[in-house]
């Protein structure tokens, strides 16, 4: 059978192009609603503390958030980064859609007991 296509390469090219075109045309009729979500849902937590260094942010903010996040159902993984400019970014990846609403409010307290960051009025 392969000998037939080796002897007739133009026929093989035309047949291959026809198969590709048929696949592209049938792509429009596929039920996209039945496909699963490709990227897992993600939640990003950002905190800014001007004047704080990365080690202080790690000890007072990032560790508390990470400890609270370990108990979330369907948690796939999370990553955190603290910068010396005074910002913390924690990204949480979940394995199911619709779980993001059940994330506890861990960012409302800190290690020193302050419930919310205070702004200085000038």
User: pLDDT tens across 33-86, in order?
Assistant: 777 667 777 888 888 888 888 888 888 888 888 888 777 777 888 888 888 888
Give the pLDDT of residue 15: 95
- Between these two residues, 14 and 88, which has the higher pLDDT value? 14
DSSP 42-110: EEEEEEE-TT--HHHHIIIIIHHHHHHHTT-TTEEEEEEEE-TTSEEEEEEEESSTT-GGG---GGG--
* Per-residue pLDDT band at 96 (split at 50, 70, 90): low
| Mean pLDDT, the chain, whole residue set | 76
Q: Are strands 42-48 and 87-94 parallel, antiparallel or unpaired?
A: antiparallel
- Between these two residues, 33 and 12, which has the higher pLDDT value? 12
Give the pLDDT of residue 110: 47
Task: Count Cβ atoms below 10 Å from residue 75 Cβ, excluding itself.
Answer: 15
Q: How far apart are CA 12 and CA 10, in angstroms?
A: 5
Residue 82 bridge partners (DSSP)? 88
State if pTM tops 0.85. no
Calculate the alpha carbon distances from 96 to 18, 74, 100 in Å: 39, 6, 9
């Amino acid at each position: 059978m392969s000998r037939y296509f080796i002897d007739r390469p133009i026929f093989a090219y035309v047949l291959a192009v026809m198969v590709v075109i048929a696949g592209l045309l049938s792509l429009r009729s596929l039920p996209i609603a039945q496909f699963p979500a490709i990227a897992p849902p993600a939640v990003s937590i950002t905190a800014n503390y001007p004047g704080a260094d990365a080690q202080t942010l790690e000890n007072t903010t990032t560790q508390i958030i990470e400890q609270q996040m370990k108990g979330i159902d369907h948690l796939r993984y999370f990553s955190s980064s603290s910068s010396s400019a005074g910002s913390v970014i924690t990204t949480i990846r979940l394995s199911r859609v619709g779980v993001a609403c059940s994330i506890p409010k861990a960012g409302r307290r800190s290690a020193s007991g302050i419930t919310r960051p205070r702004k200085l009025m000038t």
